[in-house]
Structure 1
């Protein structure tokens, strides 16, 4: 029998024509959208940013949608048609999930763009950044979870397993809850941090005895950049369950303290004048606080606290170092007697030192000593 006689050309044409037309049209749309995405990649206008967000997912979703419509016009066997439409449906779910995640990310970037944090007093901007980033990651995670769950529910076996789990939600539900406790704990902690904001991005904190800045807040952990460029990764729940120091909770302004131990002969008026001069000449001083006070004394020295203010923690640290160095140099140059020193009084032994006031040996007794002669008498 001739091979061409066994091929049903009419059936092949009935399948190939709609699929081919859908493929060509979808390819044209795909290339057009990809070209648009490349052209607006560097655009800074609002329209360009919107097109950049939606163009790439639509470049894959529109051809798939056209292919799904074309499959309905083909005389494929029911089983092959069901499998093909199921695969396209899952791919469309993935494209929609991708599009929604990009939309949330675009909205997040648009909000952050309106509130720059590279300014002197950025407390409000850091509050907006923290809320936007944490809530954005929570929403994106929920979208991905919903997309995966929706795709899985299109399989009959998965739907049956889900119905079985719902029907027997006793021990299995408890076990699943225990297993998912860290995930839900971090999710709730993330929402608490986003709303209550015990920490914000770029906050100066002391965590586990380490001084650093909040560099990143994710859906499960916080990255603290330590002053020596190390990174401390802390779970979100730690900031809810443990006390910690936040130096920039209400304002970015900081007070810096420098302590000097000086001699009692230190001229405090000269110290205050020199401190005021150092602060006035330093651009890191914000013009608010510049104080020198004697806060403590010991048997040989007195403690002088120098309190200065700056616009942020970094300037405060550098300013107090400059103040400490400047005052030490000033005292060593102008008032060397103000630097701490150890005193000793030397006396000569013998009769030249004057009469001795020590009591006679025979009259010295310890309290409650027994009556009788002293030892050695």
Structure 2
């Protein structure tokens, strides 16, 4: 391409840019005029202004360059320019299409407010729309990337082999990314099963908080102390958890006291009614005081109250606990728990004498120490006859002389 063609090409590109600016300005003016009576044009401008301008600019420049290219331009050089503009047009077009999809989803979200008391259905729709938005963005990126790759002739020729090996690659990828795929399908399941929603109050992993974000692979729980607990999506599909706002946000809570037996349940009940009547934390559904146990040294008093949601219930329980403790300290100090100790004098100890100790030792014997014990022993020993040796009996009958005759060494008298 000769140098004489560069000024014409530059002028054509400049005119294309001016035309693109005029087109975007006219479209923006129309939307702003409509936006005076409705709200959606402002949202459309916010979402699609930048991708729309880039897409129009790329198309206008492509047309200008195509018209301005001289006939003597080489085919390779012209094909390279057309290929580059095609890739830019695909990228900006996909971006613009994704922005329009997000705009439509925002219109759906605007119809359901979550800052109202009864927002269960709105939170459900918001959760599903946010999951669909992420799927839309991912699908747009994949489609755009595939369209860009298909513009290369080498990849088009290799398409048959890629499709043939897609099954094997899919199996390998599935085995390697089993955990990621499980979280992906769990995220989709959470979005449409209505198990949890945005702003649901949950208790998971012994932590209490609200569901702040639900993605395709993980869930973010905003804990009450402003920490964020990031959990995989499979945590909510394979393990049990508590959802305090599954059907409605109203909750019932308890406040328990271990008090002395002299407590006055009637007085505490009257004070509870005064406390509940003077606060807007109570929703008016339930407010009772009951003695649930009276065993041992304590009387168990339980207070049941209700509130419109979990944070309000927590504040209400703290208020009831504080006011009832203050009432007992001021007007019924006998109700406060006490530990009673009974002081008993120790008995006097006497030192036993030697005779008493001997008598005690004799009393501990079964066959001796007393006439009765000796008689008991005789009953056992007399019942066994003693058999004498015959030789010993003959010696006793012959006398001492027979013993000397039998024993030559025996001394003589």
Q: TM-score range by the shorter chain?
A: 0.7 to 0.9
Match for residue 41 of structure 2 among 41, 47, 50: 47
What is the aligned partner in structure 2 of residue 218 from structure 1? 215
Matched positions, count? 347
Note the C-alpha offset of 1:144: 1.5
Contact 1:34-1:55 within 8 A present in 2 as well: no
Change in CA separation of 1:242 and 1:216 when aligned onto 2, cut-off 3 Å: same
More contact order relative to length (CA 8 Å, sep ≥ 6)? 1
What is the aligned partner in structure 2 of residue 68 from structure 1? 62
Match for residue 56 of structure 1 among 50, 61, 65: 50
Structure 1 length as normaliser, TM-score?
Answer: 0.82
Secondary structure class of the residue paired with 1:282: coil
Note the C-alpha offset of 1:274: 1.3
Match for residue 113 of structure 2 among 87, 100, 116: 116
Contact 2:12-2:65 within 8 A present in 1 as well: no
Alignment of 1:124-273 (within 5 A): 124-273=121-270
In structure 2, how many angstroms separate the alpha carbons of the residues matched to 1:161 and 1:253? 61
CA-atom RMSD in angstroms: 2.9
In structure 2, how many angstroms separate the alpha carbons of the residues matched to 1:180 and 1:92? 33
Contact 1:120-1:312 within 8 A present in 2 as well: no
Secondary structure class of the residue paired with 1:292: strand
In structure 2, how many angstroms separate the alpha carbons of the residues matched to 1:225 and 1:108? 24
In structure 2, how many angstroms separate the alpha carbons of the residues matched to 1:283 and 1:372? 83
Match for residue 20 of structure 1 among 6, 11, 19: 11
Change in CA separation of 1:28 and 1:200 when aligned onto 2, cut-off 3 Å: same
Secondary structure class of the residue paired with 2:246: coil
Match for residue 273 of structure 2 among 272, 276, 280: 276
Secondary structure class of the residue paired with 2:291: strand
In structure 2, how many angstroms separate the alpha carbons of the residues matched to 1:179 and 1:34? 50
Secondary structure class of the residue paired with 1:62: helix
Structure 2: segments with no counterpart, 5+ residues: 349-358, 368-372, 374-413
1:21-70 Cα shifts (integer Å, max 9, x gaps): 25413334236626976996x98722333344333222111222233334
Secondary structure class of the residue paired with 2:286: strand
Structure 1 stretch 158-167 or stretch 132-141: which is displaced more? 158-167
1:88-130 Cα shifts (integer Å, max 9, x gaps): 1111111111112212222232222222212222222211211
In structure 1, how many angstroms separate the alpha carbons of the residues matched to 2:23 and 2:162? 46
Larger Rg: 2
What is the aligned partner in structure 2 of residue 354 from structure 1? none
Alignment of 1:91-110 (within 5 A): 91-110=88-107
2:27 paired with 1:33: no
1:257-286 Cα shifts (integer Å, max 9, x gaps): 211111222211221221111111111110
What is the aligned partner in structure 1 of residue 351 from structure 2? none
